[in-house]
Every structure is written in structure tokens, then in C-alpha cells.
Amino acid sequence: MTSAAKAARSLRYLWALPNSALGAMLGIVALACGARARIVDGALEIGGGRLGTLASRLPGSRRFSAITLGHVIVGASDASLDALRSHEHVHVRQYERWGPLFLPLYLGSSLLQLARGRRPYRDNRFERDAYASTVRQPPRARHDGDRAPRHEGG
């Protein structure tokens, strides 16, 4: 890697740092509840534990399998992290592009879709981009049968 490429990578991490700090706080709570951490493709993935079990059992629209905050991805389980990796890493790239603007833009996109009578999550611009770029995982990697794993970019 050239020094210019290293500098560009450092700037992406720095630009996403406020969001990564939020992710780290959530990650610390997850780790305290028994989750495990690993680094995959430049992002810190934290999965499992009691917090993950709780997240996957939340009612209806509040249930999720993974959430990405900057360079930190917190998943309900290792299986959900495996199944959602390509989608969540699209969100990591979005944080690298938009930095501190990402969460307000993500929320704004959801509100705009809601105002248009569309689905605030699935029709969110950032989610549409992430779904469009998602590599399909083999069915055995899915942790919850035929129900699509739910995840959040913000």
C-alpha cells in the first residue's frame, strides 16, 4: 500500500470516527454481555451474547440481527454477522463517505420515504443501495430460517 493510500484510509477512519465511537460504546455493552469480537475487512464485528439474544427477540419492527455504526458492526450472533456481512460492509463504506453526516442523512431518507407513503426502512436510499450490493449468502448461513435477517445502517 502506498503512503497516499494509507493516508486516504486513515482519513476514512477519522471521518467515520464519531460514528465508530457510538458503535464502540454499544460494542462494549455487548462484550460485557458475553459477545465476541473479531476484525473482518477493516471493521470490528461484535456478535452473540445476551444483548444479541435480546435484539433478535424484540417485537416486530424493533427486531434486528445486526447494526452498523461507523467501523463497528454489532450482530445478534456470529451467524447473523456472517449472513449480513456484505450488506453491513456497504454501510461501513457509506459511513466512510458521509462521516458525521451519515446518521442525519439516513434518518432524513427514512422520513422522506415515510412522507411519501413508502416504507421508511426498506425504501431508505442507503438501504436500497446496500441491498443492491449485497452478495447472497447460502441458506445454511442464515440463522433464522426463512425470515430475512433485519439490520440497520444507523
Binding site for Zn ion (CB under 5 A): 127, 130, 151, 153
Q: How far apart are CA 121 and CA 113, in angstroms?
A: 8
Identify each DSSP E strand in the chain by its residue range: 36-40, 43-47, 66-69, 72-75, 151-152
- Least distance from Zn ion to the Cβ atom of residue 68, Å: 7
CB of 91 to Zn ion, least distance (A): 6
Q: Give the separation between CA 66 and CA 62, rounded to whole angstroms.
A: 12
Nearer to Zn ion, 8 or 131 (CB): 131
Nearer to Zn ion, 15 or 64 (CB): 64
C-beta of 4: minimal distance to Zn ion in Å? 31
Q: Which is nearer to Zn ion, 103 or 130 (CB)?
A: 130
Residue closer to Zn ion, measured from CB, 50 or 118: 118
Least distance in Å: CB of 87 to Zn ion? 5
Phi and psi of 111, rounded to 5°? -65, -40
Phi, psi of 7 (to 5 degrees): -65, -40
Q: What is the dihedral of CA 83, 18, 58, 31, to 10 degrees?
A: 70
